[in-house]
Amino acid sequence: MHGLRAVTLDAGAKTALIDGYEGRTVAMKRLLATMIESLPEADVDLCPYCSLNQNPDLDHYLPKDRYPEFSLHGHNLIPICPQCNRKKKTTIKTRQGGRYFLHAAFEPSIDQPILEASIDYSSPVPAVTYHIEDNGALPAAELPIVERHFAKLGLADRYRKRAHGALSSLRNSLRGSSGAAIAQALNFKIGGAGLGKPDNDWEAALYRAVDQDRDPMLAWLTTP
């Protein structure tokens, strides 16, 4: 899609196509609402670019000003949150022609997590970092797109902040609880973190990392 050359249109045709989207007639509003309602129920309120925030609007994967012929094309309209929209803007591809962003309807093309978290317990507060690890499962041409998507949207930092906030809230909520109660609560978080979530959810990745080495997390949670 990103390699398509823009169709040459006169100013009137271009304006008419863009206005068809921006004018938001009753029929158009109904169509856009139907498109959003057709999303999987589990993820319908999540921005597919980040899986962090709500998606109150639709983004043109190919910018409508450059590709007005796709202003109303279903595959070119993707739900997006304001934060991702500000970061994405009208960026499409690198100078070398590689895409910057995954197309949420089709990618990643594998049904397994590629988002991983690591936890460093050497400081008083656990430090979480996120990275992409596909273990060779992604097609060779797709991995660079995933990495650019991850970097361009600042997802490592956004996920890190969300994870640190979640862990701090968990610790505060367990303050004063017995060791057994804290262990039970952590088991519950680990077991339920990925339920009903996208494959590459930040919280699911966080608790997969916790599950690999529970003792340091339990020690931190039980420290006064």
Name the residue type at position 73. Answer: H
pTM: 0.84
Q: Are 160 and 168 in contact (CB under 8 A)?
A: no
**Beta bridge partner(s), residue 30:** none
**Beta bridge partner(s), residue 99:** 93
d(CA 10, CA 8) in angstroms, rounded, equals 7
pLDDT digits (tens, 9 = 90+) for 20-63: 556 556 666 676 677 666 666 666 788 999 999 987 778 889 98
Q: What angle do CA 142, 146, 5 make, to 5 degrees?
A: 65
pLDDT digits (tens, 9 = 90+) for 65-77: 888 878 878 788 8
Q: Tell me the pLDDT band of 107, cut-offs 50, 70 and 90.
A: very high
Position 46 scores a pLDDT of 87
Tell me the pLDDT of the chain averaged across its residues: 87
